[in-house]
Amino acid sequence: MDKPITSASTSAEEVIAWGKAHQIDTCFDRADKLKPCPVGETGACCRVCHMGPCRLIGKNAEEDARGVCGATLATVAARNFVRMIAAGTSAHSDHARDMANTLLATAKGEAKDFKITDVKKLYSVAGHLEIEFEGREVNEVAKDVATKFLEDFGRQNGTINYIRRAPEKTRERWEKTGIVPRGIDREVVEAMHRTSIGVDHEADNLLSHGLRMSLANGWGGSMISTDITDILFGTPKPVQAEASFGIFKEDEVNLIVHGHEPTLSEMIVDVASSKEMEDYAKTKGAKGVNIGGMCCTANEILMRHGIPTAGGFTNQELGIMTGLIDVMSVDVQCIMPAITELSTKFHTKIVTTSPKAKIDNAIHVEYDEHHAKDTAKEIVKMAIDNFPNRTKKGSVITKKSPLIAGFSHEYIEYMLGGKWRASFRPLNDAIMAGRIRGVVGVVGCDNPRVTATGIHKFLIRELIKNDVLVVTTGCSSAACATEGYLTPEMALENAGPGLKEVCETTGMPPILHLGACVDNTRILTIASAMAAEGGLSDEIGGMPAVGIAPEWMSEKAISIGCYFAASGVPVIMGGESPVGASKEIKKIMTETWLERYRGALHFEPDPEKILSMTMDYIDNAREGLKLRKYEPGKFGAERVLMDMADRRQIKGAAHAGVGGINESEA
Ligand code: XCC
Ligand code: SF4
Q: Strand 511-515 vs strand 401-405: parallel, antiparallel, or unpaired? A: unpaired
Q: Give the three-state DSSP class for 616.
A: helix
Stretch 588-605: mean pLDDT, rounded?
A: 98
Which residue puts its alpha carbon closest to atom 1 of ligand 1? 334
pLDDT per position as a tens digit, 386-421: 999 998 789 988 889 999 999 999 999 999 887 778
CA–centroid distance, 66 to ligand 2, in Å, is 9
Read off the amino acid at residue 349. K
Does residue 580 contact residue 555 with C-beta atoms inside 8 Å?
no
- Residues 192-220, mean pLDDT to the nearest whole number: 98
What confidence tier does 650 reach under pLDDT thresholds 50, 70, 90?
very low
Q: Is the CB of 475 under 6 A from ligand 1?
A: yes
Is the pLDDT confidence value at 231 over 60?
A: yes
Mean pLDDT of the chain: 93
Instruction: Tell me what percent of the residues of the chain surpass a pLDDT of 70.
Output: 94
pLDDT digits (tens, 9 = 90+) for 141-179: 999 999 999 999 999 999 999 999 999 999 999 999 999
Label residues 611-644 b or e (16+ Cβ within 10 Å = b): bebbbebbbebbeebebeebeeebbbeeeeebee
Let me know the angle formed at the C-alpha of 34 by 354 and 322, rounded to the nearest 5 degrees. 55
Per-residue confidence at 660, pLDDT binned at 50, 70, 90? very low
* Pairing mode, strands 349-352 and 363-364: parallel
Strand partners, 590: none
pLDDT digits (tens, 9 = 90+) for 298-309: 999 999 999 999
Judge whether residue 656 has pLDDT over 60.
no
Distance from the alpha carbon of residue 337 to the mean position of ligand 1, in angstroms: 15
Polymer length of the chain: 666
- Rounded to the nearest whole angstrom, what is the distance from the C-alpha of residue 448 to the centroid of ligand 1? 13
Residues 513, 518, 519, 524, CA torsion sign:
positive
| 120-142 residue pLDDT tens | 999 999 999 999 999 999 999 99
Q: Kindly report each contact of residues 118-124 with a partner whose C-beta sits within 8 Å and lies 24 or more positions away, as own/partner.
A: 118/230, 118/231, 118/232, 118/233, 118/234, 118/235, 118/662, 118/664, 118/665, 119/664, 119/665, 120/235, 120/661, 120/662, 120/663, 120/664, 121/227, 121/230, 121/231, 121/235, 121/410, 121/662, 122/231, 123/664
H/E/C letters for each residue in 422-476?
CCCHHHHHHHHHCCCCEEEEECCCCCCCCCECHHHHHHHHHHHHCCEEEEEEHHH
Q: What percent of the chain has pLDDT over 90?
A: 88
Which pLDDT band, with edges at 50, 70 and 90, does 637 fall under?
low
SS3 string of 36-90?
A: CCHHHHCCCEECCCCCCCEECCCCCHHHHCCCCCCCCHHHHHHHHHHHHHHHHHH
Pocket of ligand 1 contains residue 556 by CB under 6 Å: yes
Query: Of 660 and 562, which is predicted with more confidence?
Result: 562
The verdict on the CB of residue 54 being under 6 Å from ligand 2 is: yes
Is there an atom of ligand 1 within 6 Å of 503 CB?
A: no
Nearest CA to ligand 1 atom 8: 295
Report CA(333)–ligand 2 centroid distance (Å). 30
CA-based angle 315:466:535, to the nearest 5?
Answer: 110
Angle at 255 between CA 254 and CA 256, to 5 degrees: 115
Q: Would you say the CB of residue 517 lies under 6 angstroms from ligand 1?
A: yes
Query: Closest-lying ligand to the alpha carbon of 260?
Result: 1
Predicted confidence at residue 507, as pLDDT, reads 83
Give the pLDDT mean for 234-260.
97
- Separation of alpha carbons 8 and 400, rounded Å: 15
Nearest CA to ligand 2 atom 4: 46
Ligand 1 centroid to Cα of residue 519, in Å, is 12
Q: Are the C-beta atoms of 221 and 92 separated by less than 8 Å?
A: yes
pLDDT, tens only, 531-556: 999 999 999 999 999 999 999 999 99
pTM for the predicted model, two decimal places: 0.94
Which pLDDT does position 397 carry in this prediction?
85
Q: Which of 3-12, 195-204, 583-592, 636-645 has the lowest mean pLDDT?
A: 636-645
In the predicted structure, residue 346 carries a pLDDT above the cut 60: yes
Whether pLDDT at 249 is above 70:
yes
- Gap between the Cα atoms of 654 and 643, Å rounded: 17
pLDDT at 420: 75
The confidence band for 218, taking pLDDT boundaries of 50, 70 and 90, is very high
- The reported pLDDT for the residue numbered 490 is 66
| Euclidean distance between CA atoms 337 and 362, whole angstroms | 9
